[in-house]
Each structure stands twice: as C-alpha cells, then as structure tokens.
C-alpha cells in the first residue's frame, strides 16, 4: 500500500486534470501532496523521494497554472506534469534513493533490505518506472509540438487523445504490471540457493 500512498497526489491529479479547471486540479493535487508528506512525517520517518517530489512538482504547476493562460496550460500541463514525475524518479535513482526501494523497504525486514539482491531488484524496478515516465513525457509533448492547437481536452483528434492520454497511461499501467511480475522472476530459485 505504501507506493499507492506515494502515488496518491498524482492519481488525484490525473483524474481531475481533464475534468475540472486546471487550477482546481493542481491545487487539489498539491493539497494531497502536502497531506501525504505530512502523514509520512508524522510517523517519524524521513521524507521519501516521491513525496518530496510531488510537493515540489505541484507547487511549480500551481504557480504556472495561475500565471499562464488556460490555452497554454491545455496544451502543456500534461507534458509538464509528466516531466515532473519523470524528473522526480530519475533524480531519486541518480542520488541513490530509488523510490521503489523506499516503499519496498518499509515492508521488509532489515536482513532483506541490506542484500545486494534487494537493491538490484528495486533499482531495476525504479528504472522501469523512470522509462515509463520518460515515455509518458515524450508522448504527451508530441501533440502540442506537432499540432500547435492540440489540447488535453480534445477527444476527437487521434494525435491528441493518443499522445496525451492513451499512450502515457498504457505505459503507466505497463510499469505497474512489471512491478508486480518482475520481482517474482528475478527472485525465482532464490530459496534453493539459500539451502
């Protein structure tokens, strides 16, 4: 459940961004990000990469939403938000704090967390998420770059709905499936090795 908790601001944002005014979507996501961060700190644990990154991303998006016009945001809010989560995940892995490891470690005993295998599995899984977020960012940037008047609200133009929604969220789903299946494959036979 930990990773779902960390993704909560993003999930709320992705549900709202195409259905309510941009300022509302970003403000609610920012409030959710602050709440997730606060609940995490109330438990006495340090801030996790995804939590800190969500607060930073939604602060920036909130500022942009209230400074730039709706026409610009309708074209660029999805690529900007996807770039935000991509950078959060990438920076986390580059500084040695892969977000998957942070959440997986909360559910494992110390003797597991300190193994090279645990570190390798969580690093590989985080890179899968980084790749998915990169693909989401690139896909959602194609409509406004190729077709200047593309918006996330366009449900008629295939370039728009495929680039902004279908491809990015298919990649997100694929990363979730890989996160469920890959550890089992990477750990297959581990019990026999320990005997």
Q: How far apart are CA 175 and CA 173, in angstroms?
A: 5
First to last CA, the chain: 31
Q: How far apart are CA 138 and CA 53, in angstroms?
A: 20
pTM: 0.91
Q: Using N-to-C axis directions, what is the helix angle for 70-94 and 49-67, rounded to 10°?
A: 160
Q: What is the pLDDT of residue 191?
A: 52
- Measuring CA to CA, which residue among 135, 107, 159, 89 is closest to residue 2? 107
- The residue ranges of the chain whose pLDDT is under 50 are 189, 193-195
pLDDT tens digits, one per residue of 168-178 = 999 999 999 99
């Amino acid at each position: 459940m930990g990773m779902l908790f960390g993704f909560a601001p993003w999930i709320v944002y992705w549900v709202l961004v195409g259905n309510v005014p941009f300022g509302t979507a970003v403000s609610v996501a920012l409030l959710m990000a602050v709440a997730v961060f606060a609940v995490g700190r109330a438990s006495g644990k340090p801030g996790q990469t995804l939590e800190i990154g969500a607060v930073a991303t939604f602060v920036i998006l909130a500022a942009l939403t209230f400074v730039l016009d709706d026409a610009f945001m309708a074209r660029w809010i999805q690529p900007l938000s996807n770039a935000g989560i991509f950078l959060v995940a990438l920076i986390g892995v580059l500084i040695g704090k892969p977000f998957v490891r942070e959440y997986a470690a909360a559910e494992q005993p110390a003797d597991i967390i300190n193994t090279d295998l645990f570190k390798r599995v969580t690093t590989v899984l985080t890179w899968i998420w980084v790749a998915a977020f990169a693909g989401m960012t690139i896909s959602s940037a194609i409509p406004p770059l190729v077709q200047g008047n593309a918006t996330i609200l366009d449900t008629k133009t295939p370039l728009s709905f495929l680039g902004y929604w279908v491809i990015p969220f298919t990649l997100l789903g694929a990363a979730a499936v890989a996160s469920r299946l890959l550890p089992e494959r990477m750990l297959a036979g581990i019990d026999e090795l320990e005997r």
